[in-house]
Amino acid sequence: MVDEQEHSGSDSEDNLDTEEDNGDQEETDDSDEEKSLPKKRPLPANVTEAGESKKRKLKKELFKPPTADEMTHLRQTENLFHSNLFRLEIDEMMKEIQVKEKVEKRFQSWFSQLQVFLDNLKNSKEFPISDLKWLKGFNVTLPIKLDPSKFSGSFCFVKPTDLSVVGSFAAKCCLGPNLEIDVRVEMPKVVFLRSDFQNQKYILKRALYVCYICSKLQKSELADEVEFSLLEGDPWKPILVIKNGEKLGKRVQVRLLFVPEAECFKLTQLAPEKVNIKTKWATGKEPEDGLELPSTYYNRSVAVDVALTENEQWRLEKMQEQKSLSEGIMLLKVWLRQRGLDQGYGAFSGYIMSMYVAYLLKGKKLNNAMSSYQVIRNTWNQLSREDWTQKGCTLCPKEIGPQASDFHLFFDVVFMDVTGYVNICGNMSSEIFQQVRRESALAIKYLDDHGINSFSALFMTNLPFYRQFDHIVSFDAASVRKAEQQLDIPARLDASGPWFTHLGIVGVLRQALDARVHLMCPQLEAVGTWSPVDGPPNPSERPFVLGLALNPEHALALLTKGPAANLPEAKIFRNFWGERSELRRFQDGSVCEAVVWASAGGIAKRRLVCREIVSYAAQKHLGVDNLLYIADQLESVLPLGLGEDGALAVAKACDALGRQLMQLEGLPLDISSVQGAAPSLRYSDPFPPAPYMAFKSKDAFDTVAMKTSECKNKFISPIPVVLNLALSNKWPEDLEAVRRIKAAFYIKIGECLKQQLNIISQPFPTHINVLKDGFIFTLKMYHAREVSLLKETTTPQGLIRYRDTEESLSLEMQYVHLPKLTSALHGLHMSHPCMGPASCLAKRWVSSHLLLDDTLMPELCVELLMAHLFLSPAPYQPPIQPQTAFVRFLQLLARAPWTSEPIILNFREEITRQEIIEIENKFNSERSTLPPLFVVTPEARSGTVLTKHAPSSQVLYRLTQLAKASLQTLDKELLTNENFDYKLIFRTPMNIFDVVISLHNQLTRKDESLDATHVDRPKTIPDQANRIPVVGLDYVQCFLKDLRESYSDYALFFCDQHGGCQIGVLFKPNVLKRQEFAVSHTNGHIPKPPKQMEFSQDLFIEDVKILGEGIVKSITIKD
């Protein structure tokens, strides 16, 4: 409670004080107000006047005296919840996931039938347990992997002594809409002998009991389907899953959990240090050194069953009928489920979570008066602070039983139950617990950050495993077996499955990667169900998948530094790294052991140092050489890699040119700053311009720039740069004159460059092209007065007003916003070096789907959305690997939050909290008038500047659909298919278009196309050049422009900017319908006398042929 008050509806808190005259005593104050309000506060005069207008009615609604209910509701929201919206959102979600009453009723009647059914079961005869041939008669295969021949004795079925609903359903925190209802079936004492807890006999008898009930249930009408599954993914703990579409409902599953009757076994005998499986019995040999190993995991497995009843009783007692508490648990469960942490062997299950909440309740960290929001908040807060790997917590009163510290000798993670003998988190690895802790800390961070919609980040977003991590390592089953041999893991008698090998692998990799990773998390996989006829699934057949969350500070280091050579630790280091380890002298004079990874190469290679380390360690210590390492696969779609090196060269040349320009002498006004505006200067150009070969003419020539007749070069993209001049009051107050002066300036700059620095250039009326280090820069000058001259209008009264015009906006975009955004994005890229490359991937993807175009989806928008992922990465951490960032970009597109939330890019935290609220309010009230994609940056706070014309909602919808399809493919293939062709998600279907225009390949930018092979880029620095080649002449874009000029009213044109050789045409709806003749809409229509006209597709084709003569190869029309 104390913790909460600072976070509750912070903006309204101040006002609260003014409303309550005597401060803190909420309770008394509340009732006071309720009683007195109607009397004390007569309606304001203006409201009592019966107003008929809607506005007045609304006002009346707002000013009517509050009821008691309303006051408590408002007060509760202010004090007990994050915000009003958060509360409403919780309520809405609860409606979706709560158990419906009719479902509960249906279950209750089914349950009573089950009781009767089990009660009527007859005792069976005695079956031998060393030979299970008789089981075939029941049509059931033993659901565990045990060799029965080692056992002796017999099994006899006796009907269960007790049946009760347990688990989350009983505690009223069951997650819908797909319900799993746990029913506890108590096996009678007589089935077991006192010594059956030894040597796995209990496990076998329990399994046989399950089989027997299964066979009976199969024949009854209670179940449509009976299947086996596993409790907690433990291969020794089969349970029954019952489905009955008619009696239970389609979305309900009942799970029968089997536990022995109380007093069957003593918990003291099942303490973790006890030896309950004898080596002699298991292997036939005496243990080598005469020491028996404790059967810790086996003991736990049995003890869980024994202690289940007691734990359940205790939990139910603690959480009796407390709605907000069970709501809180449900929220936490949803949170776990979305992160994939709650299912599978060693998971942080919902059961553990609810036990933990009960623990906090017991420790008075939570109380009954808390709202569900406070419950989750405090739970996360506590969880992020605790470390169960060091100091476990216990539900058991301290005096009795073993202490938590004893358990730490046997388990990674310790959380003891009420009996004090069972570790609830016994199967959990410390990695999973650390992840849960980290996620809890993140959750608190999101709740505190008001800038983001934390509700959707915490509860509504699914986080598939591969999107959470930068790198994924996958060991297939064969590799795991190899590693098992190599690691020489002693055969454990007390657990079944490859878990210990997994721990060994994690250990090796943890030692190899050390500080390079924040987290190394195994993938948890939910155990499915299987039919009773089939055998149980073999956990050893599954691949072992690890996700690595890189630590950006260390992950990219080229060198792993070891201890000083003279220390004893050096030997361990040398042993671990083998021949790769070498002695090195460091700058501080020390001589240390060290391993050097990727010798040289760009940043793209440095990101993969971890891969090199993992594959080396895997080969050396695990004997595995065919790892599936997912990190950079998608990068292969770009023939030039991610363009970082190219961009670096451009940036260098641009900086140099900028410095030279600012030092030019003899200009009438000094150049005060030089700002680049090209995507390559933000590291987000998938095909950064390459320095070209020297163009040189020996003969005399008129102009430095070459004409198309003189040279036929490949497409070269110019690099736009904006110049700012020193202030001067001598500029003319006339647009035409300003244009002339600017042109004269360009000529002067050209002269100075030639004379002082021998740099060649070509001035144009609107800009100047300059050749520097083989790159061609297009310099344009910004004169602020020009924009205001364009905006200026005079009213009839002689008042001068400034209003935006199309022209002024486009000028501002070019000269002000673009350079500023370029520097902001560049800055962000510097702190997150994978942003630029990730934008390249994203742009390539959008372009491949023919949508990257200034009229459809401008490239700047793609980059801004990508930047959004880095500025507000919730629910993730900012990615390190471009591929991960790209996948999350797809997820953002698929989620399409733009209809309901503004995209706020708070570069350098310049927008204050108050402003964000204002922006959100504006967004909510004026949504329909705002552009479909609403992006706010500190420079463009109105949110309309950058996306006014594009993208349209249709384009956004298409992007969402495409992103969903791409993600589906990735979900399916990424982790499983080693030979997956990543280009698949970059191929777009052409069959949706009405007309497809094929172009001649040689006129397109074919080097950039998806299937282009890698082209070596020229590295010559053309010192000798005296001509500037043809720049920026892209025939496909020219053609598209012509087409749009003629037909933009009737059709949309789509083309891949990067080497696409097909243009897709989509007619707007209703265009092909016959229409009344109207002068304004005759274009491209043929007459249908007397008064109608019709858009002619034939004429359109004819026009395409005329407009694209020489570039159009063929035209296909969809029939």
Partner 1 sequence: MASSATQICGFLAIPVKYKESSGASHWLYCKAHSVRVKTAGKPVGRTLFVVNVPAFFTEDCFQKMFGEFGTVSNVFFHKKPTASVPEEETSNFFKKSEPVKGYKVAYVVFEKSSSLEAVLKLKWKTPKVLFRKQDKAPPSAVQRWNAAYDEQITAVADLQADIDDFMRKFDEKAKGEAGNLKESEGQADEDGWIKVTKKGRKPGLARKESVEQRVLQKESKKKAKKELLNFYTFQIRESKMNHLAELRHKFEEDKKRIAQLRQSRRFRPF
Judged by CB under 8 A, the chain residues 96 through 155 that form the site for partner 1 are 96-97
In the complex, minimum distance from the CB of residue 462 to partner 1, in angstroms, rounded to a whole number: 8
Pairing, β 179-187 against β 252-260: parallel
* Token code pair at residue 822: 């370029």
Among 28, 178, 195, 485, binds partner 1 (CB under 8 A): 178
Among 50, 62, 291, 727, binds partner 1 (CB under 8 A): 62
Is 989 an interacting residue with respect to partner 1 (CB under 8 A)? no
* Amino acid, res. 641: G
Closer to partner 1 by Cβ: residue 507 or 732 = 732
* Direct distance between the N- and C-terminal alpha carbons of the chain, in angstroms, rounded to an integer: 68
In the complex, minimum distance from the CB of residue 891 to partner 1, in angstroms, rounded to a whole number: 15
Strand partners, 1087: 1093
Q: Which stretch binds partner 1 (CB under 8 A): 56-64, 493-501, 520-528, 818-826?
A: 56-64
* Token code pair at residue 907: 């570069």
Q: Which residues contact 1079 (CB under 8 A, 6 or more apart)?
A: none
Is 898 an interacting residue with respect to partner 1 (CB under 8 A)? no
Burial tier of 542 (Cβ tally within 10 Å: 0-12, 13-18, 19+): middle
Question: Is the omega angle on the peptide bond into residue 177 within 30 degrees of 0, that is, cis?
Answer: yes
Contact positions with partner 1 (CB under 8 A) in 695-724: 702-703, 705, 707-709
Closer to partner 1 by Cβ: residue 309 or 468 = 468
Closer to partner 1 by Cβ: residue 77 or 244 = 77
Question: Is the omega angle on the peptide bond into residue 951 within 30 degrees of 0, that is, cis?
Answer: yes
In the complex, minimum distance from the CB of residue 773 to partner 1, in angstroms, rounded to a whole number: 22
Q: How far apart are CA 415 and CA 422, in angstroms?
A: 8
Strand partners, 1116: 996
In this structure, the dihedral spanned by the alpha carbons of residues 154, 158, 164 and 165, taken in order and rounded to 10 degrees, is: 60
Decide: 373 and 81 in contact? Cβ < 8 Å: yes
In the complex, minimum distance from the CB of residue 514 to partner 1, in angstroms, rounded to a whole number: 37
In the complex, minimum distance from the CB of residue 623 to partner 1, in angstroms, rounded to a whole number: 41
Among 51, 93, 267, 1012, binds partner 1 (CB under 8 A): 93
Closer to partner 1 by Cβ: residue 62 or 727 = 62
Is 1045 an interacting residue with respect to partner 1 (CB under 8 A)? yes
In the complex, minimum distance from the CB of residue 242 to partner 1, in angstroms, rounded to a whole number: 22
Size of the site for partner 1 (CB under 8 A): 102
DSSP for 409-440?
A: TT-SS-EE-TTSS-BTTTT--HHHHHHHHHHH
Among 640, 642, 935, 1111, binds partner 1 (CB under 8 A): 1111
**Strand boundaries in 386-516, DSSP class E:** 393-394, 415-416, 471-475
Decide: 187 and 108 in contact? Cβ < 8 Å: no
Q: Reduced to 3 states, what is the DSSP secondary structure of residue 1097?
A: helix
Question: Is the omega angle on the peptide bond into residue 718 within 30 degrees of 0, that is, cis?
Answer: no
Q: Which stretch binds partner 1 (CB under 8 A): 146-154, 578-586, 1060-1068, 1080-1088?
A: 1080-1088
Q: Which stretch binds partner 1 (CB under 8 A): 478-486, 820-828, 984-992, 1095-1103?
A: 1095-1103
Among 2, 18, 55, 533, binds partner 1 (CB under 8 A): 18
Closer to partner 1 by Cβ: residue 221 or 804 = 804
Closer to partner 1 by Cβ: residue 145 or 337 = 337
In the complex, minimum distance from the CB of residue 1006 to partner 1, in angstroms, rounded to a whole number: 16
In the complex, minimum distance from the CB of residue 250 to partner 1, in angstroms, rounded to a whole number: 15
* Token code pair at residue 114: 């089950």
Which value, in Å, is the radius of gyration of the alpha carbons in the chain?
A: 36
Contact positions with partner 1 (CB under 8 A) in 72-91: 74, 77, 84-85, 88-89
CA angle 40, 32, 90 (to 5 degrees): 110
Q: How far apart are CA 912 and CA 897, in angstroms?
A: 22
Closer to partner 1 by Cβ: residue 1019 or 1118 = 1118
Is 957 an interacting residue with respect to partner 1 (CB under 8 A)? no
* Amino acid, res. 50: A
Q: Which stretch binds partner 1 (CB under 8 A): 10-18, 142-150, 358-366, 963-971?
A: 10-18
> In the block, which residue shows the tokens 């991610």?
642
**Strand boundaries in 476-540, DSSP class E:** 517-522
Of 522, 525, 514, nearest to 474 by C-alpha is: 522
Closer to partner 1 by Cβ: residue 531 or 900 = 900
Encoded one letter per residue, x for contact with partner 1 by CB under 8 A and - for no contact, window 739-778 reads xxx-xx--x--x-----------xxxx-------------
Encoded one letter per residue, x for contact with partner 1 by CB under 8 A and - for no contact, window 212-231 reads --------------------
Q: How far apart are CA 604 and CA 535, in angstroms?
A: 47
Closer to partner 1 by Cβ: residue 433 or 1100 = 1100
In the complex, minimum distance from the CB of residue 239 to partner 1, in angstroms, rounded to a whole number: 22
Closer to partner 1 by Cβ: residue 663 or 925 = 925
Q: Which residues contact 961 (CB under 8 A, 6 or more apart)?
A: none
Is 61 an interacting residue with respect to partner 1 (CB under 8 A)? yes
Among 900, 954, 977, 1001, binds partner 1 (CB under 8 A): 900
Decide: 348 and 341 in contact? Cβ < 8 Å: yes
* Token code pair at residue 946: 């950058």
Among 1, 25, 26, 63, binds partner 1 (CB under 8 A): 63
Closer to partner 1 by Cβ: residue 60 or 510 = 60
Contact positions with partner 1 (CB under 8 A) in 459-498: 459-460, 462
Q: Which stretch binds partner 1 (CB under 8 A): 103-111, 142-150, 302-310, 1099-1107?
A: 1099-1107
Q: Give me the numbers of helices (H) and strands (E) for the chain, helices first please.
A: 36, 33
Contact positions with partner 1 (CB under 8 A) in 299-358: 334, 337-338
Number of residues assigned to the chain: 1119
In the complex, minimum distance from the CB of residue 926 to partner 1, in angstroms, rounded to a whole number: 12
In the complex, minimum distance from the CB of residue 925 to partner 1, in angstroms, rounded to a whole number: 8
Closer to partner 1 by Cβ: residue 538 or 1082 = 1082
In the complex, minimum distance from the CB of residue 463 to partner 1, in angstroms, rounded to a whole number: 12
* Amino acid, res. 1097: Q
Q: Which stretch binds partner 1 (CB under 8 A): 225-233, 628-636, 809-817, 1085-1093?
A: 1085-1093
Decide: 591 and 564 in contact? Cβ < 8 Å: yes
Contact positions with partner 1 (CB under 8 A) in 493-532: none
* Token code pair at residue 1102: 């004819």
Contact positions with partner 1 (CB under 8 A) in 358-417: none
Is 928 an interacting residue with respect to partner 1 (CB under 8 A)? no
Within 10 Å of residue 412's Cβ, how many Cβ atoms?
A: 20
**Strand boundaries in 709-783, DSSP class E:** 719-725, 761-763, 768-772, 775-782
SS3 labels along 1042-1082: HHHHHHCCCEEEEECCCCCCEEEEEECCCCCCCEECCHHHC
Is 1033 an interacting residue with respect to partner 1 (CB under 8 A)? yes
Among 363, 668, 732, 989, binds partner 1 (CB under 8 A): 732
Among 1035, 1067, 1068, 1072, binds partner 1 (CB under 8 A): 1035
Within 10 Å of residue 424's Cβ, how many Cβ atoms?
A: 27
Q: How far apart are CA 1 and CA 18, in angstroms?
A: 22
Q: Which stretch binds partner 1 (CB under 8 A): 23-31, 215-223, 583-591, 1100-1108?
A: 1100-1108
Closer to partner 1 by Cβ: residue 337 or 620 = 337
Q: What is the DSSP letter of 494?
A: S
Helical spans, DSSP H, in 81-147: 84-97, 101-119
